[in-house]
Amino acid sequence: MSRHPGDDAKGGDAPHVLRYDGRRLAPAHHLPVREVHVALMVNGVDLATLIASPHDLHFLVAGFLRMQGLVRSAGDLLTLSVCEDLGTASVRIRGDVPDRITPTFTSGCGAGISFDVPSSEGRPVQLPSAGPFASPESLFSAMDALARVSVAYRGSGGIHSAGAWDGERLLLFAEDIGRHNTIDRIAGQALLGGIDLSGGILVASGRVSSEMAAKAGSLGISVIASRTSPTDLAVRICGELGITLVGYVRGRRFNVYTHPTRIAAAAVERIPGVRG
């Protein structure tokens, strides 16, 4: 049975903490999020240790393998089993596992390591030939929807969320202690559910870094919108890939860093320095 990231610490299990209320320290309760380590074995090869939230780990594993380029379709996953109690995941895939996979240290929290960050080089996402792609109101609605379903964050904090938005609703949603894990989880859900994310919108609660931008590009995402900021390398990658990058979506305002022609507005002012 699938568990939600906020289900593991409730009631008397919550440790006592001291909270400063502006005047004094007073006893309080806090529900910390859980973290698990999962040793991933693929075709009998010890591939990686994933550090993540404990729920729906099969999505995370499938998405991780997809992002590493080891599987392209659900049919490439011959078997997939996860044992949280032992902290292991065992997968059989079509084809061979590369002899050497070089890890890349990322800027993220949680795992902080990716074995193969998808290249920023590739076929750019096509800009629309007629009319805008996303309205400001759609981006605000997407961020509001993300906030409403982020139950674990409201209960505990210390967790990231991301969602795939089709212009009217969240198609997919993921929460995890690692920002990059949320993208892998969405990739896994899409893979196993047969959902094409090409041309869609990715909404995220945290900073958009270069590896997140590259992963979104590999999924065919057209717009990335975040409550916080992108890095300069993420801006460059999104510019190269044709992705519209939007940051600081809050308080009915946002910044557009690349390809503003996808954003529908009554009047779009072309600002020097904004790519697209």
What are the residue ranges spanned by the domains of the chain? 136-262
Q: What local confidence, expressed as pLDDT, does residue 200 receive?
A: 93
- Laid out side by side, the sheet with 223-226 consists of 170-176, 160-165, 201-204, 223-226, 244-250, 253-258
C-beta separation of 254 from 136 below 8 A:
yes
CATH of domain 136-262: 3.40.140.10
pTM comes to 0.77
Give pLDDT < 70 ranges for the chain.
Answer: 1-22, 25, 30-33, 100-132, 152-157, 265-276
Residue-wise pLDDT for 28-72, tens only, equals: 776 666 778 899 999 999 988 888 888 899 999 999 999 888 999
Would strands 170-176 and 25-29 be described as parallel, antiparallel, or unpaired?
A: unpaired
Q: What local confidence, expressed as pLDDT, does residue 21 receive?
A: 64
For 43: left if phi > 0, alpha if psi spans -120 to 50, otherwise beta; the answer is: left
Q: What local confidence, expressed as pLDDT, does residue 51 receive?
A: 83
Crossing angle (nearest 10°) for helices 210-218 and 179-193: 10
Q: What local confidence, expressed as pLDDT, does residue 123 receive?
A: 59
Q: How far is CA 100 from the centre of its chain?
A: 26
Q: What local confidence, expressed as pLDDT, does residue 275 receive?
A: 58
Q: What local confidence, expressed as pLDDT, does residue 231 receive?
A: 86
Can you tell me whether residue 263 is helix, strand or coil?
strand
Residue-wise pLDDT for 140-175, tens only, equals: 999 999 999 887 666 666 789 999 999 889 999 999
Catalytic residue from among 41, 109, 149, 192: 109
Does 238 qualify as catalytic in the annotation? no
Find, among 75, 117, 109, 251, the residue nearest to 177 by Cα.
109
Q: What local confidence, expressed as pLDDT, does residue 36 receive?
A: 85
